[in-house]
C-alpha cells in the first residue's frame, strides 16, 4: 500500500467514525431533553400529589439526565477527535500529491529577516510552496519554535546522528504518529497561557498561609459535630453557626488569592489530560533509537510524566466546581472549605513535581513537529540507505530536494544545492561552509 492509499483509507475510516458518533450525539441530545423535561414533570406531579413512586421516578429521570450529559460530552469529543484525525490524513494526501493549496500555511518566525538569513529565502524554507509547509504545521507553539531552530540554525554532527535513526524508527509507526498528531492538534493553548502555567509551576510563593491548612481541616468536622449535638438535643444553642460563619468569612477573605492560583495552575482539565496522553504515548512506546530512548528517559525524570500531569488534571478539575456549579460550590465550600483543600493539594503538587514540567513539555515538543509527517512518503527516510558518502550522498540530496520542491534538484545549482544539502541534513550554515570548501 502506497502512502497516499494509506492516507485515503484512514481518512475514510475516520470519516465513518465521525458520522457514526455524530448520529449517536443526535440521539443522546434528544434523550437528554426527554429525561430532563420528563423528570421535572414527574417531580412536580409527585410532590404536588404526594405520590412517592412518581417522585422517585422523577428523581431517577433527573439522575439519568446527568449521566446522559456526561456520555454526550464524550461522544462530542469523539466527533471532534475523528474530524481532526480525518483532516490530518487529508493533509497527508495533499502533501504526497504536492497539492500546496490544500496544505495549511506554516508562518515564518516573526523575528526572521529573510534578507539577512544566509539561505532561508534562497531555498524557500518558508512561504507557499516551501519546505516548512511540506513538513506540516507543528501541533504546539514550542514544537514550532523547535522546528524553526532546526531549519534555520546549524546542528552538531552528534545531534544529527541521533536524529536520523529516530526518523527511521518513527517512519514505520504510522498509527502511533497519527495518534500523537491528533492529541497535539486538540491541545490548543496560547503561548501566554502556557507561559503563565509554567511560571506558576516553577514558583515557590504561597499566598495563603500554611496555617490555614490546619484550620481548613479543623472547622468542617467541628461544625459537623456541633450540628449533630444540636440535632440530637445534646446542646440547646446553635453553636455550629460559629465555625460555619468563620469558615465562610475565611473563604471570602482568601477567595481572590486562591482563585488566582487556580487560574494560573489550570490550563483546562482537557488540555492537561491531552498533554498527559501525548506524554504517555512517548513514555510507554518501546524505543530502540538512542535519541528516542534519551527522550523517554527525560520524560521519566522526577516521576512518570503522564501520571503526574494526570494528577494535576484531576486537581484542576476539582477547582472548576466554582464555575461549573456555583450554587453547589457555595454549599460545599461552606460545609467543607473545599477551595482550601484544593489549593493546598495544588501547592503540594507544585512543590514535588512543578520543577520538572518545563522539561517534560519541551521534551514532548521535541518529537511533536517531526513525527506527524515523517514516513515513507518522505524522501530522506526512503532514500538515505541507497546512498553512501561523497557523490552518492550528493545524489541523495538532489533526490530529497526534488521531492520537496516537486521538481528537479538541478534547477537549483551551485550554492543553492550546497545549502539544500545542509538543510536536509540539519547542518545549517556550518554544513554550507563545509560543502563550499570541498568545492
Show pLDDT as tens, one digit a residue, over the chain (439 residues). 888 999 999 999 999 999 999 999 999 999 999 999 999 999 999 988 888 899 999 999 989 998 998 899 889 989 999 999 999 999 999 999 999 999 988 888 888 888 888 888 888 888 888 888 888 877 667 777 888 888 888 888 888 888 889 889 988 899 998 998 888 888 766 777 777 888 888 888 788 998 999 999 999 999 999 999 998 888 888 999 999 999 999 999 999 999 988 888 776 566 777 778 887 888 888 889 998 888 888 776 656 777 888 888 888 888 888 887 788 889 899 999 999 999 999 999 888 888 887 777 665 555 444 444 454 444 443 333 333 333 333 333 334 444 444 433 333 333 433 343 344 434 443 333 333 333 3
Q: Which three cell numbers stand for residue 271?
A: 488540555
Instruction: Go through 255-273 and write b for each residue having 16 or more CB atoms within 10 A of its CB, e for each that does not.
Output: eeebeebbebbbbbbbbbb
Rounded to an integer, what distance in angstroms lies between the CA atom of residue 253 and that of residue 274?
Answer: 34
Query: Using an 8 Å Cβ cutoff, are 210 and 218 in contact?
Result: no
Q: Are residues 76 and 214 both part of a single domain?
A: no
Q: End of a domain among 355, 371, 387?
A: 371
Last residue of a domain, one of 356, 371, 386: 371
CA distance 336 to 342: 11
Domain with 302, as residue range(s), is: 191-371
Question: How many of the other CB atoms lie within 10 Å of CB of 288?
Answer: 9
Same domain (yes/no): 222, 360 = yes
From 371, 389, 421, the end of a domain falls on 371
Q: Is residue 139 part of a domain?
A: no
Residue 65 inside a domain? The answer is yes
- Which of 137, 157, 158 lies closest to 147 in space, CA to CA? 137
Specify if 127 maps to a domain: no
Domain presence at residue 434: no
> Exposed (0-12), middle (13-18) or buried (19+): which is 30, by Cβ within 10 Å?
exposed
> What is the total count of domains within the chain?
2
R_g (Cα) of the chain, nearest Å:
29
Q: Return the HEC string of 217-257.
A: HHHHHHHHHHHHHHHCCCCCCCCCHHHHHHHHHHHHHHHHH
352 in a domain, yes or no? yes
**Pairwise CA distance, residues 168 & 379, whole Å:** 11
Q: Is residue 412 part of a domain?
A: no
Q: Are residues 96 and 216 in the same domain?
A: no
Q: Is 210 in the same domain as 335?
A: yes
CA distance 369 to 367: 6
Is 312 inside any structural domain? yes
* Residue at 87 is within a domain: yes
CA-CA distance, 318 to 312, in Å (whole number)?
A: 10
Mark whether 228 and 337 lie in a shared domain. Answer: yes
Residues 236 and 349 in one domain: yes
CA gap 136, 92 in Å, rounded: 9
Amino acid at each position: 500500500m502506497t502512502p497516499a492509499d494509506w492516507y485515503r483509507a484512514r481518512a475514510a475510516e475516520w470519516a465513518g467514525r465521525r458520522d457514526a458518533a455524530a448520529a449517536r450525539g443526535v440521539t443522546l441530545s434528544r434523550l437528554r431533553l426527554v429525561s430532563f423535561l420528563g423528570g421535572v414533570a414527574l417531580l412536580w406531579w409527585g410532590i404536588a400529589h404526594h405520590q412517592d413512586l412518581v417522585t422517585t421516578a422523577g428523581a431517577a429521570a433527573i439522575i439519568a439526565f446527568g449521566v446522559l450529559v456526561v456520555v454526550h460530552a464524550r461522544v462530542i469529543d469523539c466527533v471532534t477527535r475523528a474530524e481532526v484525525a480525518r483532516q490530518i490524513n487529508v493533509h497527508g494526501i495533499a502533501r504526497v500529491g504536492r497539492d500546496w493549496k490544500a496544505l495549511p500555511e506554516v508562518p515564518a518566525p516573526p523575528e526572521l529577516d529573510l534578507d539577512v538569513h544566509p539561505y532561508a529565502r534562497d531555498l524557500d524554507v518558508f512561504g507557499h510552496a516551501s519546505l516548512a509547509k511540506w513538513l506540516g504545521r507543528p501541533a504546539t507553539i514550542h514544537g514550532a519554535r523547535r522546528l524553526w531552530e532546526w531549519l534555520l540554525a546549524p546542528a552538531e554532527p552528534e545531534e544529527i546522528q541521533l536524529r536520523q535513526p529516530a526518523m527511521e524508527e518513527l517512519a514505520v509507526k504510522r498509527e502511533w504518529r497519527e495518534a500523537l498528531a491528533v492529541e497535539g492538534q486538540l491541545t490548543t493553548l496560547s503561548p501566554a497561557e502556557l507561559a503563565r502555567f509554567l511560571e506558576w509551576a516553577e514558583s515557590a510563593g504561597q499566598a495563603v498561609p500554611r496555617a490555614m491548612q490546619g484550620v481548613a481541616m479543623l472547622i468542617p468536622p467541628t461544625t459537623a459535630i456541633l450540628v449533630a449535638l444540636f440535632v440530637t438535643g445534646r446542646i440547646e444553642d446553635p453553636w455550629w453557626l460559629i465555625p460555619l460563619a468563620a469558615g465562610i468569612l475565611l473563604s471570602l477573605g482568601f477567595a481572590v488569592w486562591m482563585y488566582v492560583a487556580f487560574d494560573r495552575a489550570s490550563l483546562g482539565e482537557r488540555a492537561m489530560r491531552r498533554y498527559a496522553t501525548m506524554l504517555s504515548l512517548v513514555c510507554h512506546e518501546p524505543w530502540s533509537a538512542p535519541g528516542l530512548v534519551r527522550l523517554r528517559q527525560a520524560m521519566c525524570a522526577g516521576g512518570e510524566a503522564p501520571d503526574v500531569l494526570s494528577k494535576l488534571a484531576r486537581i484542576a478539575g476539582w477547582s472548576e466546581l466554582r464555575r461549573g456549579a456555583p450554587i453547589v460550590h457555595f454549599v460545599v465550600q461552606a460545609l467543607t472549605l473545599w477551595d482550601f483543600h484544593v489549593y493546598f493539594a495544588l501547592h503540594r503538587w507544585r512543590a514535588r513535581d512543578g520543577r520538572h514540567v518545563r522539561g517534560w513539555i519541551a521534551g514532548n515538543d521535541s518529537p511533536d513537529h517531526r513525527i506527524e509527517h515523517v514516513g515513507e512518503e518522505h524522501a530522506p527516510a526512503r532514500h538515505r540507505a541507497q546512498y553512501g558518502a561523497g557523490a552518492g550522498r550528493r545524489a541523495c540530496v538532489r533526490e530529497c530536494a526534488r521531492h520537496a520542491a516537486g521538481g528537479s534538484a538541478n534547477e537549483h545549482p551551485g550554492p543553492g544545492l550546497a545549502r539544500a544539502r545542509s538543510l536536509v541534513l540539519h547542518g545549517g550554515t556550518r554544513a554550507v561552509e563545509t560543502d563550499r570548501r570541498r568545492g
